[in-house]
């Protein structure tokens, strides 16, 4: 199986030992505490599950700037996006060497982790602007990721963490939320060596399903990891529990047994396009996957990125830094001529009229009216689940 990123073994920061965890929970009651952002809580969950191997905690300002500009820490360790605990005001923990981090996403704000404080630093406006532009490719505050990144404060608290729980994800998504440790173990138990990963924050339509099948067959893979984001999304996106139902129904009806693992991870979407595609590759490698499907405008939003920017960014990344292979996909759609889903770039004898093409807006309108999209676009079983969801909003 493929090795984790920059390490011979995964480095999960969740405190597995019950006695030790209880001891830390008790210690946390007497520590100075701070309410962290949803983004920082997501980072803690990803660190806890081994997804962010070889990271051991939150970055300091120098490492964050270096990662933003060069995709490497000051020590030369590869990583594509800053992993930060950013706050507006750190005065409550100013002189503390060890602090409790409180979860903003769970009622009562329980402690999610304990952090050893190595430094408390405040980024300048220029540094914030540089990080924003480098990571998101834009400084436009209408970009949801840019707005979120710049809304949580400019002060970063750096240092290693010990994580006490996985926030709301195990409770809200039992059977779906899994750590990188659990996924790697299950891949091994299934006897899979070559595994294709598919990232999704949306329900899967027929084109997505066929794209997974194409990658599985082209790479002669043993299995497919459908890995859905379970954290916060932008307004209007389909909730994770609805997506989960859709994907499970699709796999149950249309894929052979033991070819697909359906799992999810606890992280908020960045909408950082190319940089987020690289981050997705990092934690899929940590899961044990050998390939990641990267399609058009992967992890993008609006018109901020070129259709293939999330693919070409990998052209300049060394195999010494990132071992996972990228399966590069073009836009897929149903061909009326060939009666199957194809990559549009592979059929140069087609015109636009030869494909079944529907905009996301049009599909949402149809579902909201209780109308199933054409079978060439969406599986009827999936459409039924989505119609029920849209009807419930009325």
Whole-angstrom Cα distance, residue 75 to residue 77?
Answer: 6
Rounded distance between C-alpha atoms, residue 142 and residue 234, angstroms? 12
Q: Provide φ and ψ at 317, rounded to 5°.
A: -105, 125
Q: Which of 21, 201, 213, 248 is catalytic?
A: 201
- Does the active-site annotation cover 202? yes
Q: Is 341 helix (H, G, I), strand (E, B) or coil?
A: strand
Q: Is 379 among the residues known to form the active site?
A: no
Residue 141 backbone phi and psi in degrees, to 5: -70, -5
Helix (H, G, I), strand (E, B) or coil at 223: strand
Q: Which of 109, 202, 248, 328 is catalytic?
A: 202
Longest Cα–Cα distance of the chain, Å, equals 70
Exposed/middle/buried for 273, CB within 10 Å: 0-12, 13-18, 19+?
buried
**Comparing C-alpha atoms, which of 152, 41, 44 is closest to residue 104?**
41
Contact 258, 216 (CB under 8 A): no
Catalytic annotation, residues: 201-202
């Amino acid at each position: 199986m493929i090795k984790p990123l920059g390490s011979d073994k995964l480095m999960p920061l969740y405190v597995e030992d019950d006695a030790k965890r209880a001891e830390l929970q008790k210690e946390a009651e007497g520590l100075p505490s701070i309410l962290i952002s949803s983004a920082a809580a997501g980072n803690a969950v990803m660190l806890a599950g081994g997804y962010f191997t070889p990271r051991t905690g939150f970055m300091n300002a120098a490492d964050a700037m270096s990662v933003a500009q060069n995709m490497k820490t000051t020590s030369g360790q590869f990583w594509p996006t800053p992993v930060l605990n950013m706050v507006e005001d750190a005065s409550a923990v100013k002189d503390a060497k060890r602090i409790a981090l409180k979860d903003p996403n769970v009622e009562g704000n329980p402690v999610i982790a304990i952090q050893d404080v190595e430094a408390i630093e405040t980024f300048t406006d220029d540094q914030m602007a540089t990080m924003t532009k480098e990571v998101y490719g834009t400084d436009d505050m209408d970009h949801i990721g840019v707005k979120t990144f710049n809304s949580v404060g400019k002060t970063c608290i750096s240092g290693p963490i010990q994580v006490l729980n996985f926030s709301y994800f195990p409770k809200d998504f039992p059977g779906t939320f899994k750590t990188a440790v659990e996924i790697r173990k299950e891949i091994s138990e299934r006897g899979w060596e070559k595994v294709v990963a598919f990232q999704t924050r949306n329900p899967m339509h027929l084109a997505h399903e066929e794209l997974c099948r194409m990658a599985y067959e082209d790479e002669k893979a043993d299995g497919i990891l459908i890995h859905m984001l379970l954290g916060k999304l932008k307004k209007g996106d389909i909730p994770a529990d609805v997506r989960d139902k859709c994907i499970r129904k699709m796999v149950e009806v249309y894929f052979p047994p033991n070819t697909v693992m359906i799992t999810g991870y606890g992280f908020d979407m960045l909408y950082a396009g190319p940089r987020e595609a690289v981050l997705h590759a990092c934690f899929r490698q940590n899961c044990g996957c050998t390939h990641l499907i990267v399609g058009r405008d992967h992890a993008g939003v609006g018109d901020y990125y070129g259709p293939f920017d999330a693919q070409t960014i990998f052209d300049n990344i060394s195999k010494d830094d990132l071992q996972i292979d990228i399966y590069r996909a073009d836009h897929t759609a149903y061909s009326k001529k060939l009666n199957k889903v194809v990559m549009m770039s592979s059929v140069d004898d087609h015109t636009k009229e030869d494909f079944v093409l529907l905009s996301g807006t049009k599909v949402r309108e149809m579902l909201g009216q209780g109308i199933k999209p054409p079978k060439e676009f969406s599986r009827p079983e999936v459409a039924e689940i989505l119609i029920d969801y849209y009807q419930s909003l009325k």
